Chains A and B, each alone.
Chain A
Amino acid sequence: MSSRSAISAVVLLSAGLLTATEPLTKEQIKSAVLSEAITIPTPGEFFSAMDEQGQPNWTQMFAPKPAGVTASREQMALMLGVLVADGYIAVEAQDGQGVKNTGKEIINLAKKLNVSQSVISRGNSINDFAENNDWSALREELEATQNEVKLSMAEQKDKDLVILVTVGAWIRGTQVASDFISKNYSPGLAGLLRQPAIVEYLLAELGKTPERVQKDTLITEVQHKLQSILDLIHTKDRTPPGPEAVNTLSSTMDSLIDEIAKGHKDS
């Protein structure tokens, strides 16, 4: 029996059994594992949920900001994350050339951060999949590229920068989502922005970076703005953020993207 038919035969033990399951204890919740590679969703997941609840015009939304010249590795890491999110937007827009251009920019920036050859070969795969309009494979390849970049950074003692790639991708994903939702508000769509656990995780990880990273003016600004939006999206009883909160979130994310994309004083 194939695994698919086996699953069809056995699936659906479901509701009756689950309701008999004991809830998690407070201790189990407190000691739950947080693994960045799986606890933090990809921009692709976020965009997939938006597709289910609205009709975003991804072609219009694919408007990458040209990255300013910088010598700051922190800023480059944030920009790398922004580019990964841009890659997902280009995939949603089914813009093959846009994906190729973004892939090229990701690899160029990754080279500046001295990542390994294995990351660079990912660029070729992105090109091949974009050439064949294989959008599903591209989503997986973008995540794999991001993970490979992070692994390579960690291996070459740039472990402190890994979280910045995740932060950059989250900011860009939230910027395009909140911009769309602010213009097309519905409680269902706004509910997607209710991600306090993610922001808390990002802030906690940023708080663990060395003093040198935290003293960087851009990183200080990122921390300050993430902290400022936490109350907006930490709604009670899982209620979605209201229109005003979404507008504030959108303008906060816009200003952060401007800061990340502009040239750095140290360049």
Chain B
Amino acid sequence: MKTLGILLLSASILSAQETTDSRDRSTARSRVLELASAFANDGFKIRDGYWSGVLEKGKPQVLEVNLFSGNAYWFSAAALAPAKKLSVTLFDESGRPVDGKSYQDGTTAAAGLIPDASGRYFVRLELVEGDKADFCLVYSYK
């Protein structure tokens, strides 16, 4: 009986944690969509797909994307507290940083480019200041 009680308590704690994690991801997504909507005003279409997870200082995360020359892109990211400062950097398929535009405002950041060649690119998301936090990244194109 005692074992069953512990199991039920553990399950309810895990379930509450999952709900909190899911709510945090959803909040991070809302924040990043708010940022991306600013680019939508300039005709950028926001992708429905997104990338989310947990970001730690000193452990940048890298995402592979496939872009087309002729299009313009903005990669927008947002993190929740206790994150304080976020950065987004873009690299070509050989890992060299690519020139483009960038935006940074505390826990939101974005990087934009017009690729000169179609193919594979990388997006690096880095927590510059603050502690481990949930993040969400979306991209827009036109």
- Are B95 and A6 within 8 A (Cβ)? no
Please indicate which of the listed interface residues B37, B38, B100 has the most CB atoms of chain A within 10 Å of its own CB.
B38
Please indicate which of the listed interface residues A2, A4, A41, A46 has the most CB atoms of chain B within 10 Å of its own CB.
A41
The answer to whether residues A48 and B49 also contact, given A4-B38, A25-B95, A28-B62 and a CB cut-off of 8 A, is no
Q: Mark B23-61, 1 if CB is under 8 A from A, else 0.
A: 000000000001101110100011111110000000011
- Are B100 and A14 within 8 A (Cβ)? yes
Q: Which residues of B contact A46 (CB under 8 A)?
A: 68
Q: Mark A188-222, 1 if CB is under 8 A from B, else 0.
A: 10011111111000000000000000000000000
- Are A197 and B120 within 8 A (Cβ)? yes
Q: Which residues of B contact A49 (CB under 8 A)?
A: 68-71, 118
- Are A18 and B102 within 8 A (Cβ)? yes
Q: Name the contact of B49 in the complex, choosing from A4, A25, A38 (C-beta under 8 A).
A: A38
Does A39 sit within 8 A of B, measured CB to CB?
yes
Does A160 sit within 8 A of B, measured CB to CB?
no
- Are B117 and A238 within 8 A (Cβ)? yes
Interface range, A side: 35 or more
Does A144 sit within 8 A of B, measured CB to CB?
yes
Q: Mark A1-27, 1 if CB is under 8 A from B, else 0.
A: 011101100111111011101111110
- Are B139 and A188 within 8 A (Cβ)? no
C-alpha spacing A17/B39, complex, angstroms: 22
- Interface class of chain A by DSSP: helix
C-alpha spacing A104/B71, complex, angstroms: 30
Question: Smallest Cβ distance from A89 to chain B, in angstroms?
Answer: 16
Interface range, B side: 35 or more
- Interface class of chain B by DSSP: strand
C-alpha spacing A7/B104, complex, angstroms: 9
Question: Smallest Cβ distance from A170 to chain B, in angstroms?
Answer: 11
Please indicate which of the listed interface residues B63, B120, B138, B142 has the most CB atoms of chain A within 10 Å of its own CB.
B120
- Are B61 and A33 within 8 A (Cβ)? yes
Least CB separation from A20: chain B residue = B97
Q: Name the contact of B97 in the complex, choosing from A4, A23, A29, A39 (C-beta under 8 A).
A: A23
C-alpha spacing A59/B103, complex, angstroms: 39
Q: Which residues of A contact B93 (CB under 8 A)?
A: 197, 238
C-alpha spacing A48/B115, complex, angstroms: 14
Q: Which residues of B contact A13 (CB under 8 A)?
A: 101-104
Q: Name the contact of A12 in the complex, choosing from B60, B97, B101 (C-beta under 8 A).
A: B101
Least CB separation from B43: chain A residue = A136
Question: Smallest Cβ distance from B49 to chain A, in angstroms?
Answer: 3
Q: Which residues of A contact B39 (CB under 8 A)?
A: 7
Question: Smallest Cβ distance from A77 to chain B, in angstroms?
Answer: 18
Question: Smallest Cβ distance from A231 to chain B, in angstroms?
Answer: 16
Q: Name the contact of A238 in the complex, choosing from B45, B68, B119 (C-beta under 8 A).
A: B119
Least CB separation from A31: chain B residue = B62
Q: Name the contact of A188 in the complex, choosing from B69, B94, B96, B142 (C-beta under 8 A).
A: B69
Closest 10 CB pairs of A and B: A37-B49, A52-B70, A49-B68, A24-B95, A49-B70, A197-B120, A21-B97, A143-B48, A238-B117, A4-B38
Q: Would you list 22 pairs from A and B whose C-beta atoms are within 8 A, ordered by A residue?
A: A3-B34, A3-B37, A6-B38, A10-B103, A11-B103, A13-B101, A13-B102, A13-B104, A22-B97, A29-B62, A29-B95, A37-B50, A38-B47, A41-B65, A41-B66, A46-B68, A48-B70, A48-B142, A144-B48, A188-B69, A197-B93, A197-B119
Residues of B in contact with A (beta carbons under 8 Å apart): 34-35, 37-39, 41, 45-51, 60-71, 89, 91, 93-105, 110, 112, 117-120, 122, 124, 137-139, 141-142
